[in-house]
A and B are shown apart, each in its own frame.
Chain A
Amino acid sequence: MTCLHLLVTLGFAVSLGTTVEVQRPRGVPLTKKHFYEENKPFTCLDGSRTIPFDRVNDDYCDCKDGSDEPGTAACPNGSFHCTNAGYRPMFIPSSRINDGICDCCDTTDEYNSGAICENTCKELGRKEREVLQKMAEITKEGFLLKQQLIEEAKKGREEKQGKVTDMQENKKQLEEKVEALRTVKETAEQPEKEAKERHLKAWEEQKAAIRLEKDKAKMAEAFSELDDNADGFVSVSELQSHVELDPDADGTLTETEVQGLMGGAAQVDTSTFESVWTNIKDKYHSESQPEEPAPVETPPDEVKEPVVDNDSEPYPEDDISEEDDEEEDDEDDYHEDDDKAPPTVKTPEKSQEDEEAMPPYDPDTQALIEAAQKARDDFEDSEKALREMDDQIRNIEKELSFDFGPDAEFTYMYSQCYELTTSEYVYRLCPFNRVSQKPKYGGSETNLGTWGSWSGPENNKYLVMKYEHGTGCWQGPNRSTTVKLTCGKETVVTSTSEPSRCEYLMEFTTPAVCQEPNNTERSPHGHEEL
């Protein structure tokens, strides 16, 4: 049976260098000392029963709440207090008393186990102070940085808001301008259209006249050809030799058919031939030219025309994201539309028949066209400017809509990316956007989640970021990443891990979470003991 000291004398140095001795049962904190009065019956702290004082710390559990055995492992629910002079006092479950493992740096938990423990409190205290000091420095500096960040964010936000307001104003003007230019354009296009039509009409008339003359010449020529006997008349028989005129295309041109062509007349002279010519001119083959020089209708050669490929617009180089298919509202995306295709200057088309080419516009018309084109260009330019402005406004508004923290201290991370290279992968955290992983030595990038929400504990949700709906895992969920934020001077991803399949964890330091250094900073020593 173990022999236990009921009371221990606890001596510890305080910062002044004096030694205070306080007697109390083992494992009892000073704050509870008054419950344990020597030689008076002890009442369990839950009031459940009262026992003789010699049953306190007698290595047998009498109180349901474990309060009679603060210094032994007898109660399953007890707790032991180590003073840890030089370091931090703490409570440990009483099951760790005399279990052969040194838990308290002052070794008080292993008083009867044979475990050889060294008092490491001073060392721990020193280290902790160092760490705390360092932390304090970091916190201090971080907090300063955070103020700057807040300031910047505030400024930035104001700027942006101002910008949006300005832009909204400008947008209005721009809209008006677009409307004005639309009117100008439409006004300029009306005379242009009329002039063009006039020009076209004149040209059509001219063409018709030329055609008529040509026809007449042909007719005369035909007449003389047909009039084999040169008697000034074209007879039925003379016409009958032109089988190609056969109206029913049965290969023979009968007399009756010819008569039909000739309007019932037996012969016609030059003047009456005109009506016959109308009937036959489409089929008539000149005798002088064995093959009809039929106007060769070359199909318009499309291949030669420059192909305007609207799809091959180069992608903006600064956004190669493949996976970012969800929230794709980059301004770059729509910025050069087909309707902005340069107005094709009409080069006179090469025609077989030069005489049929439209003559250039007269200077007046040309002037009107140029004026209209300019109006059109102006209008389109302004419309584009308006769209761009819309995009810009939308982007800024989107940015402004993010929850960048209570003081917008996380604003600066927006549109930034932070990388961490491990032995195998390069991890990339783009706050408020996405997390990705790319094999160091080639291979495609994997999306580990896109921005989801702040999901820290209730008292400070800004300590954890959650990125969700990344690339799906085989036989598993979509990848997701939890980013834990800690105070640091620099904004750095310090570690990544995959605690569970496809659930990633990132440690991320930033000044943005640095708390204001506590002015009434608690000393690492357990001064509450005094």
Chain B
Amino acid sequence: MAVISIERMGLLSVVCVFLFFTSAFAVDRGNFKTCDQSAFCKRQRALKPGQSPYRALLETLELSDSRLTLQLINDNNKVHLLLELYRLQGNMTRVKINELKPLKPRFEVPDVLISEPPTEPLSVLSKDDNGVVLSLGVENQRLIVSARPFRLDIMEGPEVLLSLNSRGLLAFEHLRLHKDTQAQTDGAEVKESVDGDQQQEEKDEGGERDKEEDGLWEETFKSHTDTKPNGPTSISLDFSLPGVEHVYGIPEHADDLKLKTTDGGDPYRLYNLDVFQYELYNPMALYGSIPVMLAHNTQRTMGIFWLNAAETWVDISSNTAGKTVFGKMLDFVQGSSEKPQTDVRWISESGIIDVFIMLGPKPSDVFSQYASLTGTQAFPPLASLGYHQCRWNYNDQEDVKSVDQGFDQHDIPYDFIWLDIEHADGKRYFTWDPHKFPQPKEMLQGLMDKRRKMVSIVDPHIRVDSGYKIHNEITSKDFYVKNKDGRNYEGWCWPGNSGYPDFTNPEMRAWWASMFAYDQYEGSMENLFTWNDMNEPSVFNGPEVTMHKDALHGKWEHRDIHNIYGLYVQMATAEGQTQRSGGVERPFVLTRAFFAGSQRYGAVWTGDNAAEWDHLKISIPMCLSLGLVGVSFCGADVGGFFKNPSAELLVRWYQTGAYQPFFRAHAHLDTTRREPWLFGPENTALIREVIRQRYALLPYWYQLLYQAHKTGTPVMRPLWVDYPKDTATFTVDDEFLIGSDLLVHPVTEEGSRGVTAYLPGAGEVWYDVHTFQKHNGAQNLYIPVTLSSIPVFQRGGSIIPRKDRVRRSSACMENDPYTLYVALSPKKFAKGELYIDDGHSFNYDTKKEFIHRSLTFANNALTSSNLCPDCNFLTSSWIEKVLILGASKPSKVLLKVDGKETTVDFEFDTSMSVLTLRKPGMNAGADWTLLLQ
């Protein structure tokens, strides 16, 4: 749910909140800062490249086994910085820059790295007055430290992979004292602002003549004044990527997958904000921030992880950006021209420079490198991969019951029904409205009887109300965020005047987690899960609808921690859900705000979108971008949150959402009801069909989530991830892969009669999953569509297990048999996996209770072999059918299990070359071979 962007609002004007809802459907850009309105961004951006005042003091170089330290000096102001360099295991380099002797400690982001990253030895290859050459150990990789100006280059062989401060935009605003008295002594050439600035600074030492308009010690946006007791603290560093034309990541932005250059516009902004009715295709900040960028070309994929939780802006420029295709061709023909290069500059308001350079070289390497730092996607309960039915709001228990029955009446499966803010008693989370939901357990039991589940919303703003247990406990434990004067910070949110628990405090988080215990959260049961909304945090009457930067979290300012607040909320909530079952059951928590590492705690959705075709389209690049930086469990509100979708848009959105990882329909309070059966029997049938397709594919989704959990590989991914050398894939974001084996090109145009899908892979084949028709790879394929069409293709060479018996909910399908879809490559080969566990507990992890099998088709034999011999899990699921696409007709099919051979009936469809093996019947966990003779 969203909030309005009102910069200033009287505390009593909650009515205004609602009045603003009626305004036009577009973000009010004026409520959010541009770079020019954000003092540090403006200062930093005013710096021009090529004049770095920083010099490496090579004599200070110290090298322990895996850590290199070196002092840098800003020749303008003589401030010393400390550079730390680490070679990390898994082909990564970490670069940390802090003040050598800061006036007080600067914030370093905790709780994002899963552990202190293991290092590898570094060694000095050569050293002279100009610099040092270090060996990075593998693949003749070297790190060159240049002294004057300071610069880092990472080389592999003769190639520069990446350079730091090559443009001289390193700028580190050191902590200083605020000495107003001297402010006027030498005000003449006052361009001082950023330490890296070329402006004369020697005179300035200790004598700040900061003009108020520089916003060094105070800054006002609209009516909100940010007092800055620490003065200017921003940092900046530039990165050059020779040979790179495509960069991705740094979500969350409602923009294309491939990041654009920001010359002449605002940089991409990372600052978690509750943006009311966000606009598409621009670099404005949204609900979450993951400061990770991927750079890709045909040779290599790399990543830059900028570990900083303060407000951050990212500038991107490219030396080929302005060039037309023709111009590029000309360059090529003439053999001339500079190498393409992308330059990136990161600017953050506070903290330190702490950068992880992930050197790939393959996309999958970058994923595992990033996963080794921040962890992988939480492995969700299987049911959470089913369909979720949400609305603001299901009015009461009766309403919940009738919607639940509606699904059965219309024979549509679903797993979760959701309750938004109106379910709580006066927006007091952890409580139930006594009139609308007087018997929550009865309601939950009713759902449990159908093997279904529920999610209730628990937001981090706490109603200030002395009759509210949660508020009283937080108050008595002094767990609220403080304002700059040390009193409890209060802001306006759904319940009215609200406090904000300090989730950065581990004690607070532990207490919060304990509130999810069954005896604490009254009316909760084991099939009740949680939704954390508004955790940017959203403060209706705060600057940019969020918390004041000078609010205090212990000794740190909100400025320092802003972007990680939402992560902590979800972390504490997920922890609570885990604890309530004694650590046995997996949690499911959805969050709107997020940061690097949020993938460890659950699912993310793209916030308050709208029932518009463009919003349907943008859901693809938005989730792809998140997947690239670790968050696989992503989805957009199906149907669009604001406004009413047409039946066609709704159907198309279901068809798209069913093939995205988190599949939830949601709607604003003011919209008309839109449960799947309310648009006439034909549309109901279309929606039923696509939800069933989703359920049939649950084994595949589950296996992919397991894989993401194990390796960090995205579930929903851009084509280039699997076809990294195919430049035609680099900008594709209207279609995507699920795992490696399904390619989806959703129909996202109104009235569409056809789509053109790019099928990648020269020499590969793709099978239409509905007709089994075979198409060649490396071609643009025009696919005529009707309203029932969902262009989905299975890659030749893959095996996908499905459960084609679709039931009321995923739990009901637990023991159902599998059908294997074996899609043969041109070389008559295919492989796949099958993962099975109980679907909900941690026993897969703690007791190795799972089945993980490799399925291989080669030499006319399909074999299931065990990928985890020491695992133990029993399933009653069996293999009911095997479809082999692109097969030829055998004379006989034999099944070998336990040394016994039986013949298997089969049918062969010559028109599509589909061989169907009838009821081989072996247990899904067994070793077996099917021989085609």
Contact = CB atoms under 8 A, between A and B. Distances in A.
B807 A501 contact: no
Contacts of A474: 18, 21-22
Given A1-B921, A76-B804, A475 B880 contact: no
A66 to B, nearest CB: 11
Interface in B638-673: 669-673
B808 interface: yes
B669 A95 contact: no
Contacts of A503: 672-673
Given A499-B399, A499-B673, A58 B807 contact: no
A73 B670 contact: no
A100 B922 CA distance: 22
A101 B808 contact: yes
Interface in B1-33: 18, 21-22
* Contact residues of A: prevailing secondary structure: loop
A501 to B, nearest CB: 5
Contact of B411 (A95, A98, A476, A498): A95
A497 B398 contact: yes
B449 interface: yes
Nearest to A495: B398
A59 interface: yes
Given A474-B18, A475-B670, A99 B880 contact: no
A384 B645 CA distance: 57
Interface in A73-123: 73-74, 76, 93, 95-96, 98-101, 113
B778 interface: no
B657 to A, nearest CB: 22
Contacts of A418: none
Contacts of A500: 671-673
B807 A73 contact: yes
A58 to B, nearest CB: 7
A414 interface: no
A60 B819 CA distance: 11
Given A93-B411, A500-B673, A501-B671, A101 B812 contact: yes
Contacts of A113: 815
Nearest to A99: B812
A100 B810 CA distance: 12
B811 A100 contact: yes
A74 B805 contact: yes
Contacts of B398: 497
A60 B449 contact: no
Nearest to B393: A501
Interface in B449-472: 449-451
Contact of A497 (B395, B804, B817, B922): B395
Contacts of B722: none
A423 B435 contact: yes
Contacts of A96: 807-808
B84 interface: no
A475 B21 contact: yes
A76 B921 contact: no
Interface in A452-485: 473-476
Contacts of B918: 60
A473 to B, nearest CB: 8
Contacts of B670: 473, 475-476, 501
A310 B194 CA distance: 80
B816 interface: yes
Contacts, number: 75
Interface string A195-232: 00000000000000000000000000000000000000
A273 to B, nearest CB: 89
A73 B670 CA distance: 40
A297 to B, nearest CB: 61
B211 interface: no
B919 interface: yes
A59 B876 CA distance: 14
Contacts of A99: 451, 807-808, 812-813
B559 to A, nearest CB: 36
A60 B920 CA distance: 10
Interface in A354-406: none
B875 to A, nearest CB: 12
Interface in B379-396: 395-396
With a 10 A CB-CB cut-off, give which of A60, A99, A423 has the most chain B CB atoms: A99
Contacts of B919: 58-60
Nearest to A498: B395
B906 interface: no
B806 A95 contact: yes
A423 B435 CA distance: 8
B812 A501 contact: no
B776 interface: no
Given A73-B816, A99-B808, A497 B399 contact: yes
A157 B192 CA distance: 94
B221 interface: no
Interface string B775-813: 000000000000000000000000000001111100111
Interface string B483-519: 0000000000000000000000000000000000000
Nearest to B398: A497
Contacts of B671: 500-501
B452 to A, nearest CB: 10
B880 A74 contact: yes
Contact of A59 (B399, B814, B880, B922): B880
A499 B675 CA distance: 11
A95 B672 contact: no
Contact of B449 (A59, A74, A101, A499): A101
B812 A100 contact: yes
B878 interface: yes
A503 B672 CA distance: 8
B872 interface: no
Given A99-B812, A474-B22, A73 B805 contact: yes
A214 B807 CA distance: 119
A73 B880 CA distance: 12
Contacts of B808: 95-96, 99, 101
Contacts of B396: 497
B581 interface: no
Nearest to B922: A1
Nearest to A94: B805
Contacts of A476: 670
Interface in A483-530: 497-501, 503
B34 interface: no
With a 10 A CB-CB cut-off, give which of A59, A76, A501 has the most chain B CB atoms: A501
B860 interface: no
Nearest to B392: A501
Contacts of A60: 880-881, 918-919
Contacts of B22: 474-475
Interface in A116-140: none
A124 B501 CA distance: 51
A1 B813 CA distance: 15
Contacts of B880: 59-60, 74
Nearest to A1: B921
A95 B673 CA distance: 27
Contacts of A473: 670
Contacts of B923: 1
A73 B921 CA distance: 15
A15 B900 CA distance: 53
15 contacts: A59-B919, A60-B880, A60-B881, A74-B805, A76-B806, A96-B807, A98-B815, A99-B451, A99-B812, A99-B813, A101-B808, A113-B815, A423-B435, A499-B399, A501-B671
The 3 closest A-B pairs by CB, nearest first: A99-B812, A500-B673, A60-B919
Given A95-B807, A474-B18, 4 more contacts: A59-B817, A99-B807, A499-B395, A499-B399
